[in-house]
Structure 1
Amino acid sequence: MSKGPVIAGIVIGAVVLAVGGAFVADRVVASTVEKRAVQAIELNLDGVVGTPTVDIGGFPFLTQVIRGSLDDVSGQVDGVSIEGIPATDVTIDAKDVTTSEPYTAGSATIKATLPTASIDKIIADQTKLDITTSVDGDTLKATGKVLGVTLSAGLVPSVQDGKLLVDVHDIAIGGVSVSVDSLPKALASKLDNIEIPVKAGLPEGITLSAAEVVDDGVRITATGTDVAIPTQAP
């Protein structure tokens, strides 16, 4: 047999093994970093529910490390607490994450859902009204009793100056529609611009940018650029 094909086979095999070995090494290191990122989430967020997941995008990983930044880092956690407010289905997406101090992300987006139960408690604390909220299409519906009379109000979430506000869209008392302006001042002031205090609970450099009603509550989005990443992370 000619030695040519044998040598060629050995060379090709060596290349395949080398590439495969590099791939395995690359994925092992990436997996280790992902696990440490999970630990960072658990250390730096309050009230973590479930086991977070982290995925580092881009290949090869080691090349990104040598370059000094990771293309894309995404994470998900079932639940956390934002300023004492339970939030669910939290997702994090960060791009251009530096691999040396000071750790920063070129851009970052955080999304989370505030369940109606969380909103109930906040509204009750701020208004002293015993009401329950539910989802009604693209608005929230608050129902309860005021002075023994059934109250029903449509609530619309909005973001203003980085604050999450809930405004009364329409209101009915005892089944009769009324305007907020016609309500007693003490009651009307309680129902105007109710703030859901999540602003202070967001990481530095991240600002609330959007809010929409979803099936189980209010889905918020917060974004930022040149976001500092806590150095307490392992």
Structure 2
Amino acid sequence: MVVGVVTVVVLVGGAFVADRVAESTAEQRVVTAIQENLDVVGTPTVELGGFPFLNQLLAGSIDDVTGQMDGVTLEGIDATDVTLDATDVSTSEPYTVGTATVAATLPTASIEQIVADRSDLEIAVAVDGGALTASGEVLGLRLAANLVPRVEEGTLLVSVDNVQIAGLTVSVDDLPNAIGDRLTDIEIPVEGLPEGMVLSDATVVADGVRITADGTDVVLPTEALPAG
């Protein structure tokens, strides 16, 4: 009887070890795929949830996948503190995800570059007291304003509010058209998201704007995950 118990313990222990090794190997392969397909900063971390893992592999779908990256560049725009939460991730082509949420922070430097390019104005962007602010010069006069980010139909837009020129508060509508139009609905392009992922939210945080994208039945590029 003792031998039988020991045998069962050894078999169960061996199966557990094999399961953990398989999960660790799969996590590393996903990390490698991310590094090969995205311009990332640092080493991504990936965790595959659900137990036992081998059963999920046999079923062809991983219950939960979470990931984190220090930074990534999407179509020339730098983002930081990138997180991923996904469910029902297929393990063979076509790679699909049942549900997915990706969040990232666009630093003030990234927003400043885009707003300056789109508005053709020399401005500096910062976060002050929980508000996204812009400062610079317009027609030789000092400009200060709040920037209000929002997501509309999957597009990240920024408009100005509480505009002050030379210390006087003015409405954007009262600015010359050549200036007012450039400060309204400035599009911040967020590209490179997988098919099925759509921007859903934008919130001002301490170091920029935190954006969130959600999706269901997301289709990943064929090269996004290693086969097998």
CA drift of 1:111 comes to 0.6
Contact 1:206 1:223 in 2 (8 A): yes
2: distance between equivalents of 1:159 and 1:195? 10
Q: Distance in 2 between matches of 1:22 and 1:182?
A: 72
Report the Cα offset of residue 10 of structure 1. Answer: 2.1
How far apart in 1 are the matches of 2:113 and 2:56? 45
Given that 1:130 and 1:144 are in contact with CA atoms closer than 8 Å, whether structure 2 keeps it comes out as yes
Equivalent of 2:25 in 32, 49, 67: 32
* Partner residue in 2 for 1:194: 186
User: Which of the residues 123, 141, 150 maps onto 1:158?
Assistant: 150
Measured after TM superposition, the shift of residue 138 of structure 1 is 3.8
Moved over 3 A (4+): none
How large is the RMSD of aligned CA atoms in angstroms?
Answer: 1.1
State the match for 1:216 in structure 2: 207
Per the alignment, residue 174 of structure 2 pairs with 182
Q: What TM-score does the superposition give when structure 1 sets the normalisation length?
A: 0.93
Q: Count the aligned residue pairs.
A: 225
1:137 Cα deviation from its structure 2 partner = 3.5
Q: Distance in 2 between matches of 1:204 and 1:84?
A: 19
Q: Matched residues, percent identical?
A: 61
Q: CA deviation at 1:202?
A: 1.4
| Shift in Å, 1:181 | 1.1
- Residue 18 of structure 1: aligned partner: 11
Please tell me the residue identity of whatever aligns with 1:88. Answer: T
Give runs of aligned pairs for residues 6-155 of structure 1, distance below 5 A. Answer: 7=1, 9-45=2-38, 47-155=39-147
* SS, match of residue 205 in structure 1: strand
What is the Cα deviation at residue 139 of structure 1?
2.5
Q: Which stretches in structure 1 are left out of the alignment for 5+ residues?
A: 1-6
Larger-Rg structure: 1
Equivalent of 2:216, from 196, 202, 225?
A: 225
